[in-house]
Structure formats: structure tokens, C-alpha cells
Structure 1
Amino acid sequence: MTPIAVTFLVLSIVIVWGGAVASALSLRRRSEVGEYPPGADDDHRQADAPIEHDT
């Protein structure tokens, strides 16, 4: 492999794995959602009956 190919290979590996490590560390630091947007998991619409459609 040429030196330029090795350089780009190392650069791409650093970018991909660096992003993966940074996102994992970010998720470790803030893994819980403070507030859900409307319609999310803590929305109490699941207590209502499901929608029934005529077919």
C-alpha cells in the first residue's frame, strides 16, 4: 500500500472509532431522558382503548 493509502486508512479508522467511543461516553454520562416529547413513552394515551377500524 502506498503511504497516502495508509494515511487515509488510519484517518478513517480514527474518525469512525473515535466517533463510536465519543458517543458511548456521551450515552454513559447522560443515559436517561429528562423529559419526553408529546406522544412518547410517558404519555398516558396507552390507557385509552385501541383504535378500532371497520374493514
Structure 2
Amino acid sequence: MGDSAEAILARKYLALCPSESDLWELAVFTKNITYKEYIVDTFDVSDFGFDD
């Protein structure tokens, strides 16, 4: 039993909606209920065609 598995316990929320500037906004929220730190990264998704 040398391998161990971790369970990630979190509540996740996803939002995709038009913003006030007629562009689309994508947001992902999560609440980590294990208080463990994870890498957080953001990126611009305006090139995916949602701004047409």
C-alpha cells in the first residue's frame, strides 16, 4: 500500500454570461472545504468567439 489517494472536496460554480461591455464573461468559483492550497491561474477567453 505505498500509493495514497487524495479526495478533493469542493463546491464548484460556473457562470457564463454577457458583461456590460457586450462581451461574454466566463467565471469559475470553488470553495475548498479541506483548506488545502492549490495553484490558481487565470486566462482570457475572449478569442474563443463569444464576443461576436
TM exceeding 0.5 = no
Flag the structure with higher strand content.
Answer: 2
Structure with larger Rg? 1
The TM-score range, normalised by the shorter chain, is under 0.3
Structure with the bigger RCO (C-alpha within 8 Å, sep 6+) is 2
Give TM-score, length-normalised by structure 2.
Answer: 0.25
